[in-house]
């Protein structure tokens, strides 16, 4: 019985399969994506309100996103990418992440985005990874303590559909 030494075989680079590198999609590239045709159904609820943080002693405008679907076995939060412009806020939905929680009850996946100094009209765009976009125009007035939902729109795009319900519940408002 002879023992042979294991010698690595020469690798032929031409025969190796090429693995494409994953590209990170930016918000602008996702906006240009044409979504697949699906039935329109509300998947997310976007709630907008004023909130005073007692610990930080600051006033915030809050954009809260939550899924309509309830999750029973784990607690999830919605992962987002936010780009704030002069008069617009683009919120790209990236997916769900699990939260550390010892107590699990049926809850929607959610996240809260805090903004300082939102005053005037802002167009809020909710963008899904498949390219679907829902837009709403809001008028923020901290001095009058009001947020007005002016218009909900759907950009003209093939297969675009409504998947968001926008709300402004005044009972959530808190001030100093």
- The per-residue pLDDT for range 87-134, each reduced to its tens digit, is 999 999 999 999 887 787 899 999 999 999 899 999 999 999 888 999
Its pTM stands at: 0.80
pLDDT category of residue 16 using cuts at 50, 70 and 90: low
Q: What does the alpha-carbon distance between residue 43 and residue 107 come to, in Å, rounded to a whole number?
A: 14
């Amino acid at each position: 019985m002879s023992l042979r030494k294991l010698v690595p075989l020469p690798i032929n680079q031409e025969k190796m399969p090429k693995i494409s590198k994953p590209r990170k999609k930016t918000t602008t590239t996702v906006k240009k994506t044409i979504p697949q045709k699906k039935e329109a159904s509300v998947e997310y609820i976007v709630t907008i309100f004023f909130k005073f943080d007692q610990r930080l002693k600051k006033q915030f405008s809050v954009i809260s996103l939550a899924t309509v679907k309830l999750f029973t076995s784990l607690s999830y939060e919605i992962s987002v990418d936010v780009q704030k412009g002069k008069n617009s806020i683009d919120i790209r939905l990236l997916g769900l992440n699990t939260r550390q929680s010892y107590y699990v009850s049926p809850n929607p996946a959610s996240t809260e985005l805090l903004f300082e100094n939102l005053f005037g009209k802002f167009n809020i765009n909710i963008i899904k990874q498949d390219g679907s976009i829902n837009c709403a125009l809001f008028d923020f007035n901290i001095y009058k303590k009001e947020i007005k939902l002016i218009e909900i729109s759907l950009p003209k795009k093939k297969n675009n559909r409504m998947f968001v319900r926008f709300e402004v519940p005044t009972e959530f408002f808190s001030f100093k």
